[in-house]
Amino acid sequence: MVRDELLRLRVDAQAQAATLARDLEALFTASRDSNADDEHDPEGATIGFERAQLTALLAAARERVAEVDDALRRVDAGTYGACEGCGRPIAAERLAARPFARRCVTCAA
Ligand SMILES: [Zn+2]
């Protein structure tokens, strides 16, 4: 059951990463075609800002995929749901909100 939830999250995160990678690619192509000057052209500055935002979002989406992969490994190893800090079980509410959480609320704080 947890595995299914994690697999679903993984599909979502991967789809998000793929979309962001495509958007970023389109932005690169657009900025190359318009020959925008990042420093002096106001439109170039906007593209630079958008590019930075998309890059950050893409990194976050890829990080999410990695976190979910890690959680899936813990499910397979039978250690899923145990806090990596203190070894105690992570609260069910926390796992419901963040199924890939590695630490309990106390250790994460
Ligand atoms: Zn803990």
Give 41-55 pLDDT, tens digit per residue. Answer: 667 788 888 999 999
Q: Is the pLDDT of residue 96 over 70?
A: yes
Q: Is the pLDDT of residue 36 over 90?
A: no
Q: 88 CA distance to ligand 1 centroid (A)?
A: 6
Q: CA 47, CA 26: separation in Å to the nearest integer?
A: 11
Q: 21 CA distance to ligand 1 centroid (A)?
A: 35
Check if the beta carbon of residue 68 is closer than 8 Å to that of residue 17: no
Q: 108 CA distance to ligand 1 centroid (A)?
A: 7
**Per-residue pLDDT at 40:** 64
Q: CA 34, CA 27: separation in Å to the nearest integer?
A: 10
Q: CA 6, CA 26: separation in Å to the nearest integer?
A: 30
pTM exceeds 0.75: yes
Give 49-75 pLDDT, tens digit per residue. Answer: 899 999 999 999 999 999 999 999 999
Q: 79 CA distance to ligand 1 centroid (A)?
A: 13
Q: 31 CA distance to ligand 1 centroid (A)?
A: 47
